[in-house]
Amino acid sequence: MKKFFFVFMAVCIVSAFIISLTPEVHAQAIQLTYSNFFPPTHVQSQLADYWCKEVEIRTNGRVKIKYYPGGTLTKANECYEGVVKGKSDLGFSMLAYSQGRFPVMGAVDLPLGYTSGKVATAVANEIYRQFKPKELSDTEVMYLHALGPNLIATRGKAVRRLEEMRGLRIRVPGISSELVVKNLGAIPVPKPMPEYYQLVKSGQLNGCVHPLETMKGWKLAEVENYVTASYPIASTSTFFVVMNKAKWNSLPKDIQTIIKAINNEWIPQHGEAWDTTDREGMLFFLNHGGQMIGLNSQEAARWKKAVAPLIDDYVKFLDGQGLNGRKVIDAAIGTLDSMQ
């Protein structure tokens, strides 16, 4: 019995020594944080959550991501800078909430006549691919996506003609929508989406520029009565998913490769989700008694004429930043036209 005990102890000591020389199979997981302003029930928030889970699965648990939806870690307009400064490792928000910070990518949000989120998402990623703008160089871009057509939605007053926009206080997400609304004769009021519901319900605002998905995703069908189907001048809003640069550079190369592969898969999923939820949002709106108002060809031409100067103005703006404005705009329009 004593002999067996000494043999057993010798085996344990040798085994422990061998294990100490072997790299840990189950090293401590890399912990990341992810900030997003969308509420957890919104499909875009759910896609972000699924992305986090997919990263954990494909890295075999080597990366774990704590997901913070609903602006609980950083607010919508603080998200990008929050990633830069390390308040969160990852962030998902709208580029337009950081006004003036993203001049090249801002061209995507112009009133070019978008018809779907799938198309807008393709345009956003193509512009980034072609120009690799320095404005995004202080983070590591995971991917970009863009929502479906931004339309004019109002409470209490229908807008059938251009003149009926005059004097309305309209919430806008960013500078592009702000200029569109101003050129249409209304008063633009820049506000993040989470603040809009109460502002329009209380009468402080008359309406908003947003896609149809918000009727259900943000429950706006409860507080809006009319949507003017202004598709000929429809803009989009571009969203980023970025990682802190230092954090990205600290990741092992194989993990970076895995994440890049997941990113490429998630781009079309976001575009398709925007379109699916636009359809659902319109039905939700109509079922709540909402009314869609079309523009005939003559009226549509008037709206297009009203916003046309914005395109040339943006070219000049980019030129003033030392960028090739015409090249950027032509690339956006060319990609858009090739897909519609």
DSSP string, 5-16: HHHHHHHHHHHH
- At residue 174, the pLDDT reads 83
Mutual angle of helices 297-320 and 175-183, in 10-degree steps: 130
What is the spatial distance between Cα 174 and Cα 189, in angstroms, rounded to a whole number? 9
Half-sphere exposure of 144 (CA within 13 A, CB side): 29
Span between the terminal Cα atoms of the chain, in Å? 83
- At residue 68, the pLDDT reads 99
Q: Residue for token digits 């870690």?
A: 73
- At residue 270, the pLDDT reads 98
Mutual angle of helices 117-131 and 253-287, in 10-degree steps: 150
What is the spatial distance between Cα 44 and Cα 37, in angstroms, rounded to a whole number? 10
- At residue 195, the pLDDT reads 95
Task: Give CA separation, 107 vs 47, 113, 123, 127, 137, in Å.
Answer: 26, 13, 10, 9, 18
Token code pair at residue 111: 């009133």
Using DSSP bridges, classify how beta strands 90-94 and 291-293 pair: parallel, antiparallel or unpaired. unpaired
- At residue 340, the pLDDT reads 77
What is the helix (H) or strand (E) element at residue 93, kind and residue range? strand 90-94
Residues 276-321 have pLDDT tens digits of 999 999 999 999 999 999 999 999 999 999 999 999 999 999 999 9
What is the spatial distance between Cα 87 and Cα 178, in angstroms, rounded to a whole number? 29
> Do 235 and 94 contact (CB within 8 A), yes or no?
no
What is the spatial distance between Cα 326 and Cα 238, in angstroms, rounded to a whole number? 20
What is the spatial distance between Cα 5 and Cα 8, in angstroms, rounded to a whole number? 5
Is pTM beyond 0.75 here? Answer: yes
* C-alpha closest to that of 231 among 315, 126, 120: 120
- At residue 2, the pLDDT reads 45
The sign of the torsion formed by the CA atoms of 276, 281, 282, 288 equals: positive
- At residue 5, the pLDDT reads 40
Q: Residue for token digits 């039905």?
A: 283
Q: Residue for token digits 């092992």?
A: 252
Per-residue pLDDT 10s for the chain (340 aa) are: 444 444 444 444 444 444 444 344 456 999 999 999 999 999 999 999 999 999 999 999 999 999 999 999 999 999 999 999 999 999 999 999 998 899 999 999 999 999 999 999 999 999 999 999 999 999 999 999 999 999 999 999 999 999 999 999 999 988 889 999 999 999 999 998 999 999 999 999 999 999 999 999 999 999 999 999 999 999 999 999 999 999 999 999 999 999 999 999 999 999 999 999 999 999 999 999 999 999 999 999 999 999 999 999 999 999 999 999 999 999 999 999 998 7
List all residues 6 or more positions away from 38 whose beta carbon is below 8 Å from its beta carbon.
44, 45, 48, 69, 70, 92
Specify the CATH number for 30-338; select among 3.40.190.170, 3.40.50.150, 1.10.579.10, 1.10.3720.10.
3.40.190.170
Token code pair at residue 292: 């869609």
